[in-house]
Amino acid sequence: MDSIKKTEIRKKNDKKELFLDQTLRPNTWNEYIGQENIKNNVFVLLEAAKERGHQPEHILFYGSPGLGKTTLAYLISKETGHQIKITSGPAIEKVGDLASILTNLSPGDILFIDEIHRLNKNIEEILYPAMESGTLDIIIGKGPSARTIQLELPPFTLIAATTRISMLSAPLRSRFSGGVFRLEFYSNEEIKDIIKRSASILDIEIKDEVALEIAKRSRFTPRTANFLLRRCRDFAQVSKKNLNENTVNKTLTMLGIDDIGLSQLDRQILENIIEKFKGGPVGLGTIAMALSEEAPTLEEVNEPYLIQLGLIERTPRGRVVTEKGYQHLKINYNKLL
């Protein structure tokens, strides 16, 4: 094969890889595995709005990264038959940015704001009347001659997502009249099904037990599962082997992921609390400083999984490593007490 052709294929594959998250995104409610409680609530909300001929009310989804919040917003837009406009808290820098987004909506549109906890407070206040009464208050001019004009907005549904619900102000939270829903971690069986679906889209042959092996190390999170599936496939391809338990183990060892899905950083967090802080309690900021990491990353990405596995506990005085956490690292629990 000539080199131009090869480069073209590589470019195509790179592009495919880049958009893989979108390729693997479920297109129907049936393909969206798990989160049954949220799906049922959203169905009722959408059906009731349809029957009354109203716009569905505003919804907030929260939970760890990669659990499927954005995907839900896409599915809702599909169900309503209206377009989805996507933005995020940090992308809306000025009041004018939000005003322009809102005034450019078409009737029935879904506006998705990701990472809404990072929305500036003065911008947040513009959102209140927009969400409540569909109006936009704009102040024209400065000082004594300033005046407010009110613009009527087209009916729209705001769907917001956050990984840090505690950072959302109570007034903003209360305006999600359609509901505030927490996405749960997935079971290993659900993750296994997600992996099997992704594998069939990507033309990868995978046995049930191999999919389950990847699932067990996927942090109960679909995005991680898809990422690990792709890395295992790469390893199998490059080493000219089949995708089996052996290649999965080798790939995950290479990635520094252990048999229960802990990354190197997860293990460092545990080790640090045990060795430097006698197992805790210790504040997250202190752990972050000791590891030269950012506290929000530890709180959003690492801590929820460690808590879910019962390896650390959150107490009012800080984080504490549990007996199970010591056992996982093979450190004697009593020795350090």
Return the active site residues: 69-70, 114, 163, 223
Distance CA 122, CA 94 (A): 9
- Beta carbon of residue 26, minimum distance to ligand ADP (angstroms, whole number): 5
- Of the candidates 92, 56, 38, 65, the residue with the CA atom closest to the CA atom of residue 162: 65
From 21-29, 51-59, 239-247, 265-273, give the range in contact with ligand ADP by CB under 6 A.
21-29
Q: Site mask, ligand ADP, residues 141-180, x = CB under 6 A?
A: --------------------x-------------------
Q: Which two tokens stand for residue 7?
A: 């480069």
Residue placing its CB nearer to ligand ADP in the complex, 150 or 187: 187
Residue 69 near residue 183 (C-beta atoms within 8 A): yes
How are beta strands 110-114 and 84-88 bridged, if at all? parallel
Report how many residues bind ligand ADP under the rule CB under 6 A.
Answer: 20
Residues sharing a CB contact under 8 Å with residue 270, sequence separation 6 or more, in sequence order: 306, 311, 312, 321, 325, 328, 329
Residue placing its CB nearer to ligand ADP in the complex, 112 or 326: 112
Residue placing its CB nearer to ligand ADP in the complex, 109 or 193: 193
Return the H-helix or E-strand segment holding 230: helix 222-238
Closest residue by beta carbon to ligand ADP: 68
**Site of tokens 């290649």:** 247
From 32-40, 49-57, 91-99, 119-127, give the range in contact with ligand ADP by CB under 6 A.
32-40
> Rule CB under 6 A: which of 294-333 touch ligand ADP?
none
Please, what is the angle between helix 208-216 and helix 188-201, to 10°? 120
- Beta carbon of residue 172, minimum distance to ligand ADP (angstroms, whole number): 19
> Rule CB under 6 A: which of 226-265 touch ligand ADP?
226
Residue placing its CB nearer to ligand ADP in the complex, 35 or 80: 35
> Any contact of residue 59 with ligand ADP (CB under 6 A)?
no
Residue 113 β-bridge partners: 87, 160
> Any contact of residue 136 with ligand ADP (CB under 6 A)?
no
Residue 222 near residue 48 (C-beta atoms within 8 A): no
The identity of residue 256, as a single letter, is: G
Q: Which two tokens stand for residue 298?
A: 């530890």
> Any contact of residue 21 with ligand ADP (CB under 6 A)?
yes
Distance CA 331, CA 237 (A): 38
Residue placing its CB nearer to ligand ADP in the complex, 24 or 46: 24
Distance CA 26, CA 16 (A): 16
> Rule CB under 6 A: which of 176-215 touch ligand ADP?
194
- Beta carbon of residue 223, minimum distance to ligand ADP (angstroms, whole number): 4
Dihedrals φ, ψ of 230, to 5°?
-65, -40
- Beta carbon of residue 96, minimum distance to ligand ADP (angstroms, whole number): 27
Residue placing its CB nearer to ligand ADP in the complex, 21 or 293: 21
> Any contact of residue 34 with ligand ADP (CB under 6 A)?
yes
- Of the candidates 24, 22, 7, the residue with the CA atom closest to the CA atom of residue 193: 24
> Any contact of residue 39 with ligand ADP (CB under 6 A)?
no
> Any contact of residue 223 with ligand ADP (CB under 6 A)?
yes
Distance CA 45, CA 157 (A): 12
> Any contact of residue 68 with ligand ADP (CB under 6 A)?
yes
Contact residues toward ligand ADP (CB under 6 A) are 21, 24-26, 32-35, 65-71, 161, 194, 222-223, 226
